Amino acid sequence: MTSESTMITSNKTARQIFEEVYANPTRAAFGFGEKLAIVNVDPQKAYTRPDLFPKTAYVTDPNQMNYINQISDLARKAGMPVVWTRVGYMENAADAGVWGTRTNTEDSLQNIKYGSVRHEFDDRLTIHPDLDAVYTKRMPSAFFETPLASFLVWHRVDTVVVTGGSTSGCVRATAVDSLSHGYRTIVPIECVADKHESYHFANLTDLHLKYADVVPVQTVIDWLVERVKG
């Protein structure tokens, strides 16, 4: 039995490691099943508008909102469900739990109040409340204490496409829970974002190796276009 660390060390950046892993796949893809759902995780102004909230918001791909709209629209046309989540809390933050105890500034998580600008979805998004499911969540995963799991079962979904942010936080938590619930899980690269490239690419690497298929958004678009054509 060895008493020395076997952890691999590297001077490469998280981006470089992701690009190497992505270029040399060692695991079979989960692939698409028969029916997917698009689960758009927290594309709300607190996280998408650095011009309004520079301490909490981030932009990775400037076209992220357009891509989310595109695949959500294609899913609707194919008769497949679209889900939107956002974080929000009571005025006194009594529902934020221990997650809301580490800091208490204007930008702190628990100060995303219902009905506030931080709580609003990004204006660039096209949401159809008559067709789409819209949920408030209070913890990282879109599955935790929301109707998402039963919604997906009812719609006989077998594949979950996760978009939104952050890659290292709520996207990752949702993807892990998606796999744990038995779903083929897809993360389109251009549709997820994070505050720092190190967090973003390190978590894309981990997701790709363990929990999801990390793919170009065009892969999702092409699959949906074929289903729309029938």
Omega of the bond prior to 168 within 30 degrees of 0, cis? no
Burial of 130 (0-12, 13-18, 19+ CB in 10 A): exposed
Which of these is catalytic: 39, 170, 171, 193?
Answer: 170
The answer to whether residues 31 and 185 touch, using CB atoms and an 8 Å cutoff, is: no
SS3 state of residue 221 = helix
Contact of 85 with 142, CB cutoff 8 Å: yes
Q: Is 170 a catalytic residue?
A: yes
The residue type found at 31 is G
C-beta of residue 184 within 8 angstroms of C-beta of residue 31: yes
Half-sphere exposure of residue 88: CA atoms within 13 angstroms, side-chain side: 18
Query: Which is nearest to 118 in space by CA: 185, 49, 176?
Result: 49
Residues taking part in catalysis: 170
